[in-house]
Structure 1
Amino acid sequence: MDQPCCSSSLQSPSIELPEILPPQKSKREKERPTVCSICGGSASGFHYDVPACNGCKAYFRRYVISERNFKCKNNEDCFDLTKREKPIKCRPCRYKKCLDVGMNPLALEVDEKQAEAENFKKITKRVKVEEIEEDDDDIKSKQLVLKTVESVQEKMQRLSDMLTYLEIKLDQFQTSAYNPHWGQVQGLEFLLRSNNRISLADRYGPMPGWPLSSDPALAADNQPVLGKGPPPYSTDKKHWLYFNLLTTVEYVKTFGFFHRLNARDQYILTRYVTLACMNLHVSFTSVAKKFDCRIQPDGLKQPFKDEEHYSNSVMSIVPLIRYQVQSIEYVLLKAICLCNPAVPDLSEHAQRLLTKERQQFAEALFDHCLRNRANGPSHFSDIIGIVDVLERQQRIQKDLHLLHVAPLVAKAPRDRVIQIIDDIMDS
């Protein structure tokens, strides 16, 4: 599984094993046997754990408690009933057949003298060794199952920890003093070719003076107005649609699988999924801060409830509150949104790769829901349903941009055009 390029500590969750039911006796075990497993004659019952006649039962007992050993004068197949209808009289082959079909010498009742017989000591020792080996194999098999379960859980936990760590770095990036003029970011293609910028948060440090005043007038000065274009650039105030999109593109670039896509597929995928991932990010961070509206990292609420596109902006907040989505569920859902193989015009290679990656993130989310939610499968279905809400939300946003913003952008001076917004919205 490809994971974000970051690291974190691991904590393996406790493993709940399913109940093991007691073994059930089969119908066959309850039926009286009719054929002797050794000679093929009529069986009188189960003797020493196998169906046998009284003659073979008595012979096995006599041989085990005796001191005598015999050797077959033929090919040691005298009791092989696949080669003949009736066995050839042969004492060693008859005894060998008793052992081959599973007669148990430990089931014999013997006195102290009989227990000292050479044959009895030899055969019981062999049976005990075989039982120990079987027990060892059984233990090893159970250990392998446990190790496999633990390995899967560790993999899921490691993935979750890495995604959570990545979100921490994104939050630091958004609240940092790094605030490039949009003219320095020459569109989506330029951003995809350039080095990842998330680490710049450490160099620039936090933005001084944040959080800003919650004065509505100040907030209005720092956001684009539908149909009027972006506000003037300011070093200490961020244009949040622009910077949130930039942050999301940098998020996409941290995934290893993304760099196995060719440049065309990278552009097509990022252009399509960035807005949905951005909406989910802004919505969840707002809900995590106990808001039911969108609040930006500088502390300002955007947009306001009296604005015409307010209902669209909070569309993805509603299900996050309704389903009480946890942080780990959010980071996995965001990765699922990113790995969208249904994006139009992707190559077959990209579709296969994204399908594989999305499946693994979905499995991690499903596993989490099963282990941590009372109604696991239903909750998983509810969370996955948020993807449709995000798709619908971004479609409305892109339509609004096309109708109200794009005509003005076409006439605006170049220094007022934010190319990355146009690239993503015009798709």
Structure 2
Amino acid sequence: AMYASWIQNPDSFDVLDDTPSTSGSPTEYEEGNGHGKKAESPKICAICGDEASGLNYEVASCYGCKSFFRRCLQIQKRFVCNNEGQCKAVISKAARLRCRGCRFDRCVELGMNPLAVNAVKDKDTNKLVHEVLRRQRQLAKQASSFSSALMPISKPIECRYDRIIEEMLYLDEAHQRLRRSQFNPHASPTISLDWVLLGPSRMSIDFGDMPIVYPPPPLHHPFVPMQIRIRDRIPMPPKPLEPPAPTFKKWVMVDLIYTVEWLKTFDFFHRLDEKEKFQLVKNVTQMVTILTAAFYSYEVKGSDVTVMPDGQYLIEGELPREATIERANNFDIIERLKSIRMDRKEYVLLKAIMACDPDHECFCPESRQSLQNQRELFTKSLMSYVLARRGPTKGPLAVTQMLSLLTWQKRVVRKHKDLYVLLLALNLGGPWLPPVMLEVYST
């Protein structure tokens, strides 16, 4: 369902080729810049996250995406997405050919200028050129109204937003300190969500840093993607006979616990009743955990794949094509962060927005409204900061990309949970899984 289909049958497949073509104008780089000389060459393609060749048609992009956009316009081929445009948020170097409809949409939405494509003749009669220009005018109009609604911010409100950002930065640093710490609950039947929710947040406790062991401890069992485990009916391995080393962390479990401890620091969380707390934890813990690990890997470690504070990787070897969940959670999300060029303040605000998810029927009207109000406050703080950092031209698009990351991640986590439920239904889960994982991963 992730693959695009043609609106019309293609005569050739040269539009799919990512090899740079020599048919375009040799001066397209300068023309795409809209200036008489080259600007400093960008490093990352805004479309797919590959290495950028420069500003092509006014957007930082690679040769492949430049050629793709040009050839679509030249032969007036239009793709549609079979997934209702939902895969647009995960277009990446590895996945860019899977959905050409969403790849073309990203070219349009990120501002590739069809009038800058010298290789396209008769632009006045080219229907696809007119469609692209019409869509970009709509996006510009939306951005203008979005920006004008946010720009007149009074100083007291700005100060409030600054204070929120500082608080979120402080909480995230405490969260990262807990991830580096010696607080390391091992998998056992007593490690349940009820146990984690007991008492105040453990983020206030100084456990001391966990000693770093080089090389990092290997995984106890060979890594097998969940989809392949289900397809081939491969059960989870038995619990290791030898107890783990004191420095070994079972990250798929302990990182969930660290996130719950972070969530327990919020006032809005303590205004919920016990059932609502339990449900909110189930709603948001996995999403926040994945984002936290991804941004740490991207900002601190400079890694293209998720890596933990002790140097441990959750996946090993080259991922097979079927491993869509593992790829999304460990590679695609980091590529997305790079493409957006997200900084730490944007990340902590998006993380806080994730935590205030009112979308469940168990919340009473008052609790739902409380979560919604808190989410709106964090969202306005994000909008204010992004517009101040990136300006009224680029800011609205950046906010949209960040919020679309939230939507995409929620969809990926939902699919992960569905697969997890199927894994258990097929009796492939194994006897050692601690209750906290079963509870957080349940739908």
Contact 1:274–1:424, Cα closer than 8 Å, also in 2: yes
| Match of residue 277 from structure 1 | 288
Structure 2 residue 327 is the aligned partner of structure 1 residue 311:
yes
- What 5-or-longer segments of structure 1 have no aligned partner? 1-147
Structure 2 residue 340 is the aligned partner of structure 1 residue 335:
no
Contact 2:200–2:264, Cα closer than 8 Å, also in 1: no
**Post-superposition offset of 1:376:** 1.1
**Post-superposition offset of 1:155:** 1.2
Greater RCO structure (CA 8 Å; 6+ sep): 2
Q: 1:223 to 1:340 in 2, by over 3 A?
A: farther
**Which residue of the other structure, out of 406, 410, 423, is the alignment partner of 1:404?**
423
| Match of residue 151 from structure 1 | 156
Separation of aligned partners in 2, 1:337 and 1:343? 14
**1:44-193 mapped onto 2 (5 Å cutoff):** 149-183=154-188, 185-193=190-198
* Matched residue type, 1:339: C
| Match of residue 94 from structure 2 | none
**Local SS of the residue matching 1:351:** helix
Percent identity between the two aligned chains:
26
| Match of residue 369 from structure 1 | 386
Structure 2 residue 367 is the aligned partner of structure 1 residue 350:
yes
**1:178-327 mapped onto 2 (5 Å cutoff):** 178-183=183-188, 185-200=190-205, 202=206, 204-208=207-211, 210-213=212-215, 218-221=217-220, 227-229=235-237, 232=240, 233-234=243-244, 235-288=246-299, 289-308=301-320, 309=323, 310-313=326-329, 314-327=331-344
Separation of aligned partners in 1, 2:210 and 2:353? 31
Contact 1:332–1:365, Cα closer than 8 Å, also in 2: yes
Separation of aligned partners in 2, 1:224 and 1:185? 26
* Matched residue type, 2:173: I
Separation of aligned partners in 1, 2:261 and 2:210? 19
Separation of aligned partners in 1, 2:296 and 2:220? 23
Q: 1:411 to 1:149 in 2, by over 3 A?
A: closer
Separation of aligned partners in 2, 1:164 and 1:410? 37
Separation of aligned partners in 1, 2:335 and 2:203? 29
* Matched residue type, 2:219: A
Q: 1:267 to 1:409 in 2, by over 3 A?
A: farther
**Local SS of the residue matching 2:188:** helix
* Matched residue type, 2:292: H
Q: How many residues are paired up?
A: 271
Q: 1:410 to 1:238 in 2, by over 3 A?
A: closer
* Matched residue type, 1:279: I
Contact 1:335–1:361, Cα closer than 8 Å, also in 2: yes
Structure 2 residue 387 is the aligned partner of structure 1 residue 387:
no
Contact 2:256–2:286, Cα closer than 8 Å, also in 1: yes
Contact 1:312–1:396, Cα closer than 8 Å, also in 2: no
Separation of aligned partners in 2, 1:410 and 1:384? 33
Q: 1:358 to 1:421 in 2, by over 3 A?
A: same
Alignment TM-score, normalising by the size of structure 1: 0.59
CA deviation map 1:9-51 (0-9, x unaligned):
xxxxxxxxxxxxxxxxxxxxxxxxxxxxxxxxxxxxxxxxxxx
Alignment TM-score, normalising by the size of structure 2: 0.57
Of the two, which has the highest radius of gyration?
Answer: 1
**Local SS of the residue matching 1:356:** helix
Q: 1:312 to 1:229 in 2, by over 3 A?
A: farther
**Local SS of the residue matching 2:157:** helix
Separation of aligned partners in 1, 2:335 and 2:302? 12
Separation of aligned partners in 2, 1:197 and 1:154? 29
Q: 1:282 to 1:304 in 2, by over 3 A?
A: same
Contact 2:288–2:355, Cα closer than 8 Å, also in 1: yes
- What 5-or-longer segments of structure 2 have no aligned partner? 1-152, 227-234
Q: 1:271 to 1:231 in 2, by over 3 A?
A: same
CA deviation map 1:300-353 (0-9, x unaligned):
222124245331322322211110111000000011111111234322111100
